[in-house]
Structure 1
């Protein structure tokens, strides 16, 4: 599936691709990378950008976008800065583990939007629609490729917020880290409809990182990658390759869900795990495990996605969590009783916090229970201050779990807000996702990136 495409936010966690091979001057112990794979270490930075109105209407996602997509309306996005072409052209791309096709904007309706200029690259080439590449490498895309008027391989991507992009499948040289990788396949998009002009002015496109045949991970032959996003400052790290850090501690692993039969609402190339329950302050929500399992259509899968900010749960699970959290915080938090305010169209549990004393009280811990592992969401991650939203002298804070049903989306999605201060490892070779709690700001410093 993919969850989102790219859109606007308050912060941009920017992956500055000043990638370097991890060298012997570092004091950390690393396991050896596979013979054909370089170990790439990349720093994370943050930058503030303007935020549009945060009071979004209650709207259903377009059915045509597919049941496994979520709207990409949030305040934080992860972006990667790299170069493509000969000579190299800089590109800033949204990093999305929930999407497959990487794409660049090749034309701009406004001169302010960054674009890739294909005619300026000597290594650029288009993919004919009659080629095996067009027929075979696009098989995992939600919409099949077709022929355009010039017999080129035409591709379309669409997202549940009604944004879309379409253009031609092309290849060019990708410069990532210290080496050039010729023949990188991506979409050169010349038309589309965006829900975020603010972000379009800052990004060139999107980088797909799921397990599909066209994703960056697959094309690079990467067997493992990891990232760590700080919840305290602007630091962080992205790592390609298999590296063992003795200071991270043992990771908790949960297997990726695999299915052999195609189902209409199941994304087989997403990072799908099996959620089995939720705890609030140690209390297990009274829900059968069956509510977390995909049904006969594939609806109800659980995806780990860097392209989504918050976490979204199907209606019955969301309601149970909302009621339990509300009960445990009754008398501690003041509820915002405004039925017309729903943050990001799916987050309807919000609170008032005095702006003069904005510190939050101690809140209960939520634990997401997966097959073989549990992920802790501490109280400080459970409420998010809505940028620019006030009621008199009070700030508006909203619960950081949303209701998938309000979006018309049949999926559970674990967003990157709840992945903060976690070492997140995506192990494709062993078909699993691992995570461990760690101070990501200290991790960056320890790796020499602070």
Structure 2
């Protein structure tokens, strides 16, 4: 195969010091012409469609996976590792929104529901075009202050039966949970999307265990002047498969894979 237009760059070790110890480089997944997806489609042409799927693990001991091109996206069932589950079959889709000032990815968000009750925020709170950004750099979903305050009030009310404790930075709302969140009735959060679909955020993606006895709501106040009203961070993406389809300009999302009996850390790289 003739590898034309292959772009490679090198960096001194000093530029990689802020990265985790085992990381040896960075690969772009944006809309940029130098992103990994663009490079692969340039090299392989019609053999690879302009889409990729991202599956981030919830454990630092597990490996996630990135799939370039179309599915199926096979992950093993935890109860029967010999049986594979095609996550592509359970994806829900919503349009990707354009943003001329960014090479990132945006979706249309019209509201947030907590425990089945819609939040009441001023009209157009989610930016003028109601688009929110997806980020693999931001660790926790960040909300502009006016949205965050309403969100916290709604979550407190829905979680009234859970004992609250002093905040643990960078979080503002924390609870006594013992050694795990299992058995607690944690309010479910739904991101209400412009095409009528909803992205359900289960407790595994909304509550962060900070020590043996305390867990916190893993959403951050982005301040009054935040550029984006909402930025969806990596904690909310963990063990969710996200498919970025640039050909059809849409995002496919699974919500948590736990109910399907699998996780993003189960992909078999030896096959």
The answer to whether the 8 Å contact 1:377/1:418 transfers is: yes
| Alignment counterpart, residue 251 of structure 1, candidates 79, 91, 105 | 91
Match of 1:409 in 2: 226
Match for residue 112 of structure 1? Answer: none
Q: 1:397 aligns with which of 215, 224, 249?
A: 215
Matches within 5 A, 1:186-205: 186-190=8-12, 197=18, 199=19, 201-205=21-25
- The residue matched to 2:154 in structure 1 has which SS? helix
Larger relative strand fraction:
1
Q: Distance in 1 between matches of 2:181 and 2:188?
A: 20
Q: Give the deviation of 1:446 after TM superposition.
A: 8.9
Alignment pair present for 1:218 and 2:34: no
1:228 to 1:180, Cα distance in 2 relative to 1, 3 A: farther
Is the contact made by 1:353 and 1:397 (CA closer than 8 Å) also made in structure 2? yes
Give the match for residue 184 of structure 1: 6
2:189 alignment partner in structure 1: 366
Per the normalisation by structure 2, the TM-score is 0.75
Tell me how far apart the structure 1 counterparts of residues 119 and 98 of structure 2 sit (CA, whole Å): 26
Structure 1: which 5+ residue stretches go unaligned?
1-178
- CA positional deviation for 1:381: 2.5
Give the greater-gyration-radius structure (CA).
Answer: 1
* CA separation of 1:193 and 1:250: change in aligned 2, threshold 3 A: closer
The answer to whether structure 1 residue 242 and structure 2 residue 70 are counterparts is yes
Taking a change above 3 Å as real, the CA distance of residues 251 and 193 of structure 1, as seen in their structure-2 partners, is: closer
Deviation at 1:247, TM superposition (A): 4.2
Mapped to 2, the partners of 1:204 and 1:321 lie a distance apart of 38
Partner of 2:54 in structure 1?
Answer: 227
Q: 1:318 to 1:360 in 2, by over 3 A?
A: farther
Query: Residue 28 of structure 2 aligns with which residue?
Result: 208
Contact 1:235 1:441 in 2 (8 A): no
Q: Distance in 1 between matches of 2:25 and 2:200?
A: 32
Structure 1 counterpart of 2:172: 348
Note the 1:73-84 alignment, pairs <5 A.
none
Q: CA deviation at 1:369?
A: 1.1
Q: Distance in 2 between matches of 1:420 and 1:445?
A: 10
RMSD: 3.4
**Contact 1:305 1:413 (C-alpha < 8 Å) held by counterparts:** yes
TM (normalized to structure 1)?
A: 0.48
- More RCO (CA 8 Å, sep 6+): 2
Which of 273, 278, 291 is equivalent to 2:112? 278
CA shift for structure 1 position 214: 1.8
